[in-house]
Amino acid sequence: MDKFAYTPALPDGLNASATDAISPDGSPELGKQYVIPARQGRAIRLKKGQLLTILNPHGNQVCDFFAIVEGVPGEFLSMEHCRTALGRIYVGLGDILVTNRRRSLIEIVEDTSPGVHDILIACCDLPRYQQLGASEYHDNCADNFKMSLLAIDEQIIHVPSPFNIWMNIPVAASGEFEWKPPVSSPGDQIVLKAHEDCIVVMSACPQDMTPVNGLNSLPRELEFQIDET
């Protein structure tokens, strides 16, 4: 096989993201608290108007967040379009994040953390870890995205850049940026409101070769629940 061949739907490895869906089709129970194990991802179906609360129990764990419009796999939450819509490279309370068709999809309605999140950096993948020195397969957010969708029998045509919740990437006036530990605290949470029916994928980022999940910290679990407005 051509070493440069790439099939977006196929993960480079496997973990329990591919089998441990929250339900066969990703439909959640309202008010139930779910766990995203460290290094894994989970997909859920979020209805228009529903609220998704993502909890950071340990404070230092980044959540790679993806969303696809229900029934339209080619329309997804797009960070490059969000930067255009917002006119900045940071997000804040009350911001509405948009799709690659520039439609409103996700609104930030509550954030108990200092509000430091990232909309610049691509999700980690196997080639990224290989560049960092990994000699074997390493769990990654791109594969967690793919496996989480496969677990609920959903089509994958593209891996978008994620909304990196709690990821701290300060940008200098020169344009250079750094990889810094999160500034969130144990128990911080963010609440997101869906503006359209969508499929959300959340990955408890497996990054342990840079400090984005904390200095000398291993990736940890995340929690979430869905409620009506």
The contacts of residue 38 (CB under 8 Å, 6+ apart) are 61, 204, 206, 218, 219, 220, 221
For the chain, report the end-to-end CA distance as a whole number of angstroms: 50
Instruction: Look at the chain and count its residues.
Output: 229
- Tens-of-pLDDT digits for all 229 residues of the chain? 456 678 899 999 999 999 999 999 999 999 999 999 999 999 999 999 999 999 999 999 999 999 999 999 999 999 999 999 999 999 999 999 999 999 999 999 999 999 999 999 999 999 999 999 999 999 999 999 999 999 999 999 999 999 999 999 999 999 999 999 999 999 999 999 999 999 999 999 999 999 999 998 899 999 999 999 8
CB neighbours (10 Å) of residue 19? 10
The answer to whether residues 194 and 50 touch, using CB atoms and an 8 Å cutoff, is yes
Token pair belonging to 164: 């990196």
pLDDT at 5: 77
Provide the residue ranges of all domains of the chain, joining segments of one domain with +: 31-227
pLDDT at 216: 84
pLDDT at 1: 45
Query: For residues 35-71, b (16+ Cβ closer than 10 Å) or e, as one string?
Result: ebbbbbbbbbbbeeebbbbbbbebbbbbbbbbbbbbe
Instruction: Look at the pTM and tell me if it is higher than 0.75.
Output: yes
pLDDT at 3: 63
